[in-house]
Amino acid sequence: MDEGAHRIRFSGCALCGACVEACPQGALGVYGRERSAGEVVAEVLKDYDYYEDSGGGVTISGGEPMAQADYARELSGALKGAGLHVCMETSGFAPWEAYQRLLPDVDLFLFDYKATGEELHRRLTGVGHGLILTNLRLLLEAGKNVRLRCPIIPGYNLSEEHLRAIAGLSRSGVSAVEIIPYHDMGKGKAKNIGSSLYLSDVRTPEQAEVERWIDDIVRYGGIRIFQA
């Protein structure tokens, strides 16, 4: 404690929430709450009439839903059983068997494609992309609706090789490709949780730059490309 100021050592965080309860000024908080699949579905069904009228549905997001594959399966099954359209975001990095169990209940997969090349993918994400590309292929072979989502971060994964790879994948059977330009909307939350992973050296690209990326992908043979 310096000059009466309380300091938080995030590196020692055990995710217990005790600091939130102890904070005398109420300055700390917890992002997210634990809920059973049944509780989530009950909350969602309060708006059932809206979903029915609009044709909308529920997107199971993350983090990575497949990091809790059993929960994701229970939740998607309950939502589908209630007659709702079910969408799931995923990085693709999970055992294929976990995806197989979800196939009857998930209508649309929003599938990340983050980097081209095994070495670069491992350097940026900590894992290779072999399993990810295999799961993408198997989902398409299973006849699932897959939309590829491609975050573009200048200085990290932006290259001609990557844009050409996106163009190739757009012709693999995916329903569409979303180009997601880097933004800094998570900056405040990163600061709040003491994260040092925020990319402070990257600027948000201008719209004209994003349009050039999309034009390049189309020029390389890409189809059904749009900006998220």
Question: In this predicted model, what pLDDT tens digit does every residue of 14-50 receive, in sequence order?
Answer: 878 888 888 887 777 777 788 999 999 999 999 999 9
CATH homologous superfamily, domain 35-227: Aldolase class I (3.20.20.70)
* Torsion region of 147: left, alpha or beta (phi above 0 gives left; psi -120 to 50 gives alpha): beta
pLDDT at residue number 1 = 46
Amino acid at 179: I
Q: What percent of the chain shows pLDDT beyond 70?
A: 90
Tell me the CA distances in angstroms from 205 to 53, 183, 211, 215, one per residue in order: 37, 8, 10, 15
Strand partners, 2: 5
Segment 74-92, tens digit of pLDDT: 999 999 999 999 999 999 9
Cα–Cα dist 161/117, whole Å: 9
Q: What is the mean pLDDT of the chain?
A: 90
Element (H, E) at 82: none
What pTM value is reported for the model? 0.86
